[in-house]
Each structure stands twice: as structure tokens, then as C-alpha cells.
Amino acid sequence: MIIDCHGHYTTTPPQVEAYRNAQKEALKSDPDHLFEKGHIDVSDDEIRESIAQNQLKMQQDRGTDVTIFSPRASWMGHHVGNASTSQAWTEQCNDLIRRVCDIFPDNFVPVCQLPQSPLTPIETSSAELERCVDQMGFVGCNLNPDPSGGFWHDVQLGDRYWYPFYEKMVELDVPAMIHVSGACHHSLDTTTSYYLGADTTAFVHLMSSDVFKDFPDIRFIIPHGGGAVPYHWGRFRGIAQDRGLGDLDERVLNNIFFDTCVYHQDGIDLLLEVIPTKNILFASEMIGAVRGIDPRTGHHYDDTKRYIDGNSKLSEAERKMIFEDNARHVYPRLQV
């Protein structure tokens, strides 16, 4: 079985964007507008069609089986509006993910976004995580380390601010993928400098912190192949050593996992060479940041299964770890 741990619902029916646009419109006249959840009128058929012709078709074309599926990351937009804006939007997005997974129970497993919002206690996210996991069968969440959209106004991930949420993750035995949303900072570009920079920044927060001492069983997935981290593993090992943080592998690799959203063979080969196999989870982020076909290969850039298949050093057992076993370890609630 091939489990893709990183897929977003990027192909929602237009009513979803209309709901979000109505929120933004209301905020223009009243930034403190208190939002209610309301309703998005989308039929099961519309959801079915939005998936069947897109993510499901590409799963089948590429020979993968199951996608761990969450709301569109770049649309989480935690910086937009106030706490009630994010709460209503998040619940709607998570409900939609649940419906996708009900319609295609063999192909998609739900992961939730969180109602993070500037100046909002993290406890609202704990409550939504509980709703999604306990009541709706979700297996994980996407945690945004920078709800300010590129300004990094919030405290580092090692700060006690986040601890109630980490406690909830451990209690529910679910991991978090650390994933920022769209950049609203003029200097950053969402799917390149912001995503990759945020992945690297989140790793540094965690490696410098006591989070894994305080939560020895917590599990984080750093997406996009870990940003710059595996390419600079020697730098990070050396800096950990210089700063008295000990051996980097021992310090972080019980708790941090990297996905395989690296869109060329050489990048994947580096990831597989540098990072222990047990810490790598197959992922494509299809349909996501890169949608074209690579003229050098004739295949989609984000068809990452080809790169795992194309690596010459992996044994079959190791390949199975990356495609399946590691995901089952990191997401123990996954029942597929």
C-alpha cells in the first residue's frame, strides 16, 4: 500500500471560495465582525466531481492508494480577520474534508486545519483538534508556526504558549504537520521562499528547544522535504555540536519526520541518503504548488513516487517503510 501523507483539497467547488470572500468582505467594513459558522451549500456530487477528476484520478494514474488529506494550506489564512473568522472558516474546511473522506473512504484520510488567529490562545485549536479527532475520525492536524503570514509575530515553537496544544496532540496520539499558509509579507513568495524558509525555521525552533524532552512521544512532520535542512544536515549537525545540543540525530529524530515533497530525483536521492529511512514519509502534495510536467522526464514534477522508485539504493523493505510503515507509525489512528 502506498500512503501519500501530504495532500490538500485545492480543488474545492467555487462556493467555498465564495464563503471565504464573503468573510473578507464583511471584515472590510468591520474588522471585529463576529462570524457564525453558517453554511456552505455544496452537494455531494459537486465534491465527488471535484475530487474524482483531480486528486483521485492522479492517485490512480500514479499508482498510489491513500492520501492523508487536509484543507488547502495556502488558504488557511490565519492572519485574516479575528478569532471568530478563523473559527468559522476552519470548521467549514474541516467539515468538507470529512465529507470528501466519507465519499471516498478508501482513498482519503482526514487531517484538520486549526482555528489559529493572531492574539488568540492556542486552546481554541486544542478544542478543534479534539472535535476533529474524537468526533470525526481525523488522524492528525496541520499546525501553523506563523499565523501572521510571514511576519513571524508569534513566539517560537519551543515556547510554553504552544504546550497546551502539544499536550492535546499527545493525549489524542496524533501528529502535526508543520505548515504555514499564504504569505502576506511583501518580501515572501508563498510556495517557494515562505514554505521552504518556514520549514527550516520550524526545525530550528524545535532543535533548539526542550519540546522533545517535555513531550518524548510527540511527532511532527516537516513538509517539503524539510525545507533546507537535509541539504544542510552537516551544518545543522555541526551547529548542534558547537552549541552543546549533542548529537543531532539523537536530539530530534525520535520526533521529527520529513516528507518527500522534493520534485526531482537528485533532491530525493539526497534526502534518502542523509536522513534515516524511518524518518521519511512518502508525500507528493498533489495537486499543489507545482502542477506542470518536467520536459526532462515527461512526467509531473510532483509525481514523487517515480523518484522513490527511481532511487537505486533503497531495499524493498526500506521502500515499504517510506510508502506505508512509517505513516502507520506516525499516524497510529490511520486505519487503512
CA 283 to CA 5: how far, in whole Å? 5
Nearer to a second copy, 28 or 296 (CB): 296
Nearest distance in Å: CB 263, a second copy: 4
Nearest distance in Å: CB 210, a second copy: 16
Nearer to a second copy, 165 or 233 (CB): 233
Nearest distance in Å: CB 232, a second copy: 6
Nearer to a second copy, 65 or 152 (CB): 152
* Closest to 86 measured CA to CA, from 75, 101, 99, 98: 75
Binding-site ranges for a second copy (CB under 8 A): 146, 152, 154-156, 185-189, 191-193, 196-197, 200-201, 203-205, 208, 224-225, 227-228, 230-239, 241-242, 262-264, 266-267, 269-270, 273-274, 289-292, 294, 301-302
Strands 140-143 and 256-259: unpaired
Which three-class secondary structure string do you get for the chain?
CCEEEEEEECCCCHHHHHHHHHHHHHHHHCCCCCCCCCCCCCCHHHHHHHHHCCHHHHHHHHCCCEEEEEECHHHCCCCCCCHHHHHHHHHHHHHHHHHHHHHCCCCEEEEECCCCCCCCCCHHHHHHHHHHHHHHCCCEEEECCCCCCCCCCCCCCCCHHHHHHHHHHHHHCCCEEECCCCCCCCCCCHHHHHHHHHHHHHHHHHHCCCHHHHCCCCCEEECHHHCCCHHHHHHHHHHHHHCCCCCHHHHHCCCEEEECCCCCHHHHHHHHHHCCHHHEECCCCCCCCCCCEECCCCEECCCCHHHHHHCCCCCHHHHHHHHHHHHHHHCCCCCC
CA 141 to CA 169: how far, in whole Å? 9
Please identify which of the residues 285, 316, 318, 324 carries the catalytic annotation: 285
CA 318 to CA 336: how far, in whole Å? 20
Nearer to a second copy, 123 or 189 (CB): 189
Nearer to a second copy, 24 or 160 (CB): 160
Residue 239: count of CB within 10 angstroms of its CB? 15
Nearest distance in Å: CB 123, a second copy: 22
The answer to whether residue 318 is catalytic is no
Nearer to a second copy, 26 or 274 (CB): 274
Nearer to a second copy, 58 or 132 (CB): 58
Nearest distance in Å: CB 268, a second copy: 9
Nearest distance in Å: CB 156, a second copy: 6
Nearest distance in Å: CB 287, a second copy: 12
- The residues carrying an active-site annotation are 285
